[in-house]
Structure 1
Amino acid sequence: MKWTEICIQTTNEAVEAISFILHENGASGLVIEDPQDLHDVYDSPYGEVYELDPKDYPEEGVRIKSYLPVNSYLKDSVDEIKQAINNLQNFGLEIGANEVTLTEVNEEDWATAWKKYYKPLQVSERITIKPTWETYEPSRDDEVIIELDPGMAFGTGTHPTTMLSIQALEKYCQGNEVILDVGCGSGVLSIAAVKLGAQKVYAYDLDDVAVKSSKMNIEQNKLSDKIVVEQNNLLQNIDIKADIVVSNILAEIIVKFVDDAWKNLKGEGIFITSGIILNKKHLVLDEMKKHGFDIVEVNELDEWISIIARKPK
């Protein structure tokens, strides 16, 4: 299958909005090349990034790359993306150079070129994510290893939002839980949940690529009997009494299914959300409080937020 890489040079300020625009227009995968990553010093002991090359980063601004299938709708999709990005200026967002370039790539090339940068990664106290093609020996007896090949789906474990989600699961999974994973991407959160003791996970994603990727990774970790993956739009038409709902997607999407999360959670059930940029924190907090959730924790990592809420008994 052939794909077109769309590359947008913009500003840090516009990254979240443009990422949302790409998602809404059917783009798969997302790469953010921010030169600040070359200089960041992390307070957290988790998620160290390996082998960054300055030549891969712009001298000014930020590059956002995503992937669109080469089909009869490609030109219309690109035009809509360009128009939506231009319209951000009407909302006071600075979009910088706003240079948009297109490059045709084969799926096989895209899926393998980045693998040299992806190394085993400790993402929480107990969990290490190991790419399927890397060798790694656990450093202690209680270490939990997740084998992962995300392919073109979001969720390598390296992103702060994924780490925040896994750290929350590690804290709130006590054993034998039923869990709903909304927007499962590569399946990494579902796998982590079961390896931390969950009894059953129901994982949903609207993206067919994500569904296939999740199933592959779940099989790789020999957990197909405990994780059910289905294509679904958030929690629409889902009726499962869960102990935990976890979702690592954008704030604008989280607020769309807070009511469905409430309906599917048992009393005292936990709602773990991430994928929330700092300035959208109150958008999600206000929606949760409006539906009756008690806010348990708000955690931050590299300007990203996770919110953990509880449904009262």
Structure 2
Amino acid sequence: MERYYLVFDFAIPFQMRDIADGMFFEAGCKGVEDLKEENGIYYVRVYFDGNADFHPEETPLKEYLIGSFRIEEQDWNENWKEHFKPVEIGKSIVVVPSWLKEEFNPEDRIPIYIYPGQTFGTGSHESTKLMMKLMEEYVFPDCSFLDVGSGSGILSILAKKLGAGKVVACDIQKEAKDELELNSLINGVSGVEFVHGSVDRVKGQFDIVVANIEKHLLLPIFPEIVRKVSQTLLISGILESQESDMVKEIEKHGFTVEKVERENGWIAVAARK
């Protein structure tokens, strides 16, 4: 039986974005793509497995639904290839589709080759780009590094290429292990340890802990995340409207916010103990 995906397009008011994202992920969505932001309205595309029990017309989101369609798995993969292009990030990083590896010249940038799979993390979303910019500044040689909600493994792979020593990636999605292994192989990176489960299953503390996770998913595990930090905490996946609350939460746990990066309504925060 051919696998397929259900795709829904929404136009969501700014004040509803966090609530909507929470409903999408609670319903089991595979990903949320930001199409554009215009006059306080976020246009997003949401992907679900074909067998997902998601009926937006039966939810408070029904008034924001502007379209839906179905794509076959083969079309899904080709759609990624059509839209996923090399992305330069910060001063020294470039994220490249894996199928362009042989023909693309990264010049003096650090290349991160990624095959888009079923987990989050291709380098195209603002939250990932902002996190990578902070990592470019904060990761130092031989540091220990924990990637919470690792998805495709893009941040763990970047940490290794930036010179980190011990790198641990954890994710509740079982697919994340396979994608980390695939992307590590493509990048010629080894030594990233994967932990299947939430952050509470990871042992020890780390010089740097990163989490590119939306606020409603981050807050329930935040106390456990901060316990893993010995020096630096990097947080992304936060909307600008949530900045004040997030900074207060970070400071409440004894951290000092050093830097906030911003792009298209998203922020990433660097904080130290």
Q: Do Structure 1 and Structure 2 share a fold, with TM-score over 0.5?
A: yes
1:1-313 equivalences in 2 (<5 Å): 1-34=3-36, 36=38, 62-71=42-51, 74-75=52-53, 77-78=54-55, 82-85=58-61, 97-99=63-65, 101-134=67-100, 135-140=103-108, 143-223=109-189, 225-233=190-198, 235-266=199-230, 269-311=231-273
Structure 2 CA distance for partners of 1:237 and 1:117, relative to 1, 3 Å: closer
Identity %: 26
Q: What are the Cα deviations for residues 77-99 of structure 1, in whole angstroms up to 9, with x where unaligned?
A: 326x842536xxxxxxxxxx522
Structure with greater Cα Rg? 1
Q: How many residues align?
A: 269
Q: Which runs of 5+ in 2 are unaligned?
A: none
Residue 254 of structure 1 contacts residue 273 of structure 1 at CA under 8 Å; is this kept in 2?
no
Structure 2 CA distance for partners of 1:262 and 1:10, relative to 1, 3 Å: closer
Q: What code does the residue aligned with 1:174 have?
A: F
SS of equivalent to 2:195: strand
Structure 2 CA distance for partners of 1:78 and 1:228, relative to 1, 3 Å: farther
Residue 8 of structure 2 contacts residue 65 of structure 2 at CA under 8 Å; is this kept in 1?
no
Distance 2:76 2:119 in 1: 12
Q: Which runs of 5+ in 1 are unaligned?
A: 37-59, 87-96
Q: What are the Cα deviations for residues 216-275 of structure 1, in whole angstroms up to 9, with x where unaligned?
A: 21221122x321223212x12322221110011112222222321222122xx1000011
Distance 2:43 2:240 in 1: 20
SS of equivalent to 1:15: helix
Q: What code does the residue aligned with 2:136 have?
A: E
Between stretches 285-294 and 61-70, larger displacement belongs to: 61-70
Residue 170 of structure 2 contacts residue 202 of structure 2 at CA under 8 Å; is this kept in 1?
no
Structure 2 CA distance for partners of 1:63 and 1:298, relative to 1, 3 Å: closer
Deviation at 1:276, TM superposition (A): 0.6
Q: TM-score, normalised by structure 2?
A: 0.89
Deviation at 1:32, TM superposition (A): 2.4
Distance 2:91 2:76 in 1: 32
Q: What code does the residue aligned with 2:193 have?
A: V
Deviation at 1:282, TM superposition (A): 1.8
Residue 21 of structure 1 contacts residue 84 of structure 1 at CA under 8 Å; is this kept in 2?
no
Q: TM-score, normalised by structure 1?
A: 0.78
Between stretches 254-263 and 278-287, larger displacement belongs to: 254-263
SS of equivalent to 1:34: strand
SS of equivalent to 1:138: coil
Deviation at 1:298, TM superposition (A): 1.8
Residue 121 of structure 2 contacts residue 151 of structure 2 at CA under 8 Å; is this kept in 1?
yes
Residue 12 of structure 2 contacts residue 64 of structure 2 at CA under 8 Å; is this kept in 1?
yes
Structure 2 CA distance for partners of 1:279 and 1:35, relative to 1, 3 Å: closer
Distance 2:176 2:201 in 1: 20
